[in-house]
C-alpha cells in the first residue's frame, strides 16, 4: 500500500494511542531543527514549536494592546470635540471648535467645511463655508456611503485649502447629513500620502462627521 504524508498524519491523529503502544519508536524518531539545522527529538521539536507559537501570540498581543491604546487616544479626542461642540452657541463658534480640534488635537494640517441648503440669511454670508457649491459637488457628497480616504481629489476640494492645497497628497472627505439629506462636506487634507489611505478604518471619521453635523445643524436652525 502506498502512503502519502497526509495519510500518515491522519492515521496518527486518529490513533493517539499509537506511541503508547510503540514507545521505543517515539524515542528513535529525530527530525530537523528548523532553526539550527541539526536533528532533534520529536519532544524537543514540539517544545520549539510551542516557543515559536508563544512568540507569535506575544507579538499579536502587543499589536492588540497598541491598537487598544491608539483607540483610547482617539476616543478621548473625539469626546473632547463632542463636548466642545455641544457648548457652541452659534454656527461660527461650532466651526471654530471644529477647526481648532481637528487642526490641534487631531493634528490635521488642512481642514475645510462647505455647507449648503442653509437658511436664507446664511446664503448671503461672505464666509467660505457658505460659498456656492456645484451640483456635481453636492452629488458627490450625497453619494458617499462612508468617508472617502485616498489621493488628493474630489470636486474643487483642494482649492478649499487655499494656496497650500497644491501640497495635499491625501484626503478624507466626510459627508455631513441631516437625517437622509446631505447638507455639507468636511474635508481633511495632509501632505503625507499615507495619512488618509483607501484601506484605513473610518469609524472615527464617521463619528466626527456625525458629531459635526449635529452641532452645525443645531446652530444653523
pLDDT (tens digit per residue) in 74-108:
899 999 999 999 999 999 999 999 999 999 999 99
Half-sphere exposure of 165 (CA within 13 A, CB side): 14
Cα–Cα distance, 15 to 18 (Å, whole number): 6
- The DSSP H or E segment spanning 185 is strand 181-190
Cα–Cα distance, 107 to 200 (Å, whole number): 17
Tens of pLDDT, residues 179-188: 999 999 999 9
Q: What is the pTM of this model?
A: 0.70
Residue 216: closest CA among 83, 140, 115: 115
- What lies within 8 Å, CB to CB, of 28 at 6+ separation is none
Q: Domains in the chain, ordered, with CATH?
A: 19-86 (no CATH), 89-220 (3.30.450.40)
Residue 105's φ and ψ, nearest 5 degrees, are -60, -45
Are β-strands 170-178 and 181-190 bridged in parallel, bridged antiparallel, or unpaired? Answer: antiparallel
Q: How would residue 37 be classed by pLDDT, with cut points 50, 70 and 90?
A: low
Q: How would residue 27 be classed by pLDDT, with cut points 50, 70 and 90?
A: low
Residue 171: closest CA among 128, 136, 205, 217: 205
Amino acid at each position: 500500500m502506498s502512503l502519502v504524508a497526509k495519510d500518515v498524519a491522519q492515521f496518527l491523529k486518529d490513533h493517539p494511542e499509537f506511541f503508547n503502544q510503540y514507545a521505543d519508536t517515539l524515542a528513535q524518531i529525530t527530525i530537523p531543527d528548523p532553526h539550527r539545522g541539526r536533528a532533534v527529538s520529536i519532544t524537543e521539536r514540539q517544545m520549539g514549536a510551542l516557543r515559536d507559537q508563544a512568540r507569535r501570540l506575544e507579538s499579536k498581543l502587543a499589536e492588540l494592546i497598541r491598537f487598544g491604546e491608539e483607540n483610547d487616544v482617539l476616543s478621548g479626542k473625539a469626546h473632547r470635540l463632542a463636548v466642545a461642540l455641544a457648548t457652541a452657541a452659534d454656527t461660527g463658534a461650532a466651526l471654530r471648535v471644529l477647526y481648532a480640534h481637528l487642526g490641534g488635537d487631531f493634528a490635521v494640517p488642512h481642514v475645510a467645511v462647505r455647507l449648503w441648503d442653509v437658511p436664507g440669511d446664511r446664503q448671503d454670508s461672505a464666509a467660505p463655508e457658505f460659498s456656492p457649491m456645484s451640483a456635481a459637488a453636492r452629488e458627490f457628497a450625497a453619494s458617499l456611503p462612508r468617508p472617502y480616504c485616498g489621493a488628493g481629489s474630489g470636486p474643487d476640494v483642494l482649492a478649499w485649502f487655499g494656496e497650500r492645497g497644491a501640497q495635499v497628497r491625501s484626503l478624507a472627505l466626510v459627508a455631513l447629513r441631516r437625517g437622509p439629506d446631505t447638507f455639507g462636506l468636511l474635508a481633511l487634507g495632509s501632505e503625507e500620502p499615507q495619512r488618509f489611505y483607501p484601506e484605513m478604518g473610518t469609524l472615527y471619521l464617521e463619528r466626527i462627521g456625525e458629531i459635526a453635523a449635529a452641532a452645525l445643524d443645531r446652530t444653523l436652525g
